[in-house]
Amino acid sequence: MDKLQMVGGTSLQGEVEIAGAKNAALPILCACLLADQPVVLRNVPDLQDVRTMLKLLQEIGVTVDFPNPGDRSHLVLSAAVIKSSEATYEMVKTMRASILVLGPLLARMHSAKVSLPGGCAIGARPVDQHIKGLKAMGASIKIKSGYIQAETKPQSDRLKGVSILTDMITVTGTENLLMAATLASGITILENAAREPEVGDLAELLVKMGAKISGIGSDRLVIEGVEKLHGADHSVIADRIEAGTFLCAVAAIGGEITVKDCRPDTLDAVIVKLREAGLKMEIGPDWIKATMQDRPKPVNFRTSEYPAFPTDMQAQLMTVNAIASGNSTITETIFENRFMHVQELNRLGADIAIEGNTAIAQGVEKLAGAIVMATDLRASASLVIAGLAAQGETQVDRIYHLDRGYDRMEQKLTLLGANIKRVK
Q: What does DSSP assign to residue 189?
A: E
Indicate which residue of 30, 120, 248, 262 is catalytic: 120
- Using CA atoms, how far residue 309 sits from 154, 245, 266, 322, 325, in Å, is 44, 13, 11, 18, 22
Has 32 been annotated as catalytic?
Answer: no
Amino acid identity for residue 99 in this structure? I
Residues 157 and 152: their CA atoms lie apart, in Å, by 6
Q: Which helix (H) or strand (E) holds 358?
A: strand 358-362
Residues 319 and 340: their CA atoms lie apart, in Å, by 13
| 8 A C-beta contact, residue 238 and residue 261 | yes
Rg of the chain in Å (alpha carbons): 22
At 254 the three-state DSSP class reads coil
- Using CA atoms, how far residue 61 sits from 79, 124, 409, in Å, is 7, 30, 32
Longest dimension (CA), the chain: 66
Residues 129 and 190: their CA atoms lie apart, in Å, by 12
| 8 A C-beta contact, residue 301 and residue 317 | yes
List the one residue out of 265, 289, 267, 269 whose CA is nearest residue 279: 289
- Using CA atoms, how far residue 295 sits from 8, 366, 392, 417, in Å, is 15, 10, 18, 19
Q: Where are the beta strands (DSSP E) in 145-247?
A: 147-152, 163-165, 187-191, 212-214, 220-224, 232-235
Residues 289 and 247: their CA atoms lie apart, in Å, by 9
Residues 48 and 187: their CA atoms lie apart, in Å, by 36
| 8 A C-beta contact, residue 47 and residue 404 | yes
List the one residue out of 406, 353, 408 whose CA is nearest residue 379: 406
Active site residue ranges: 120
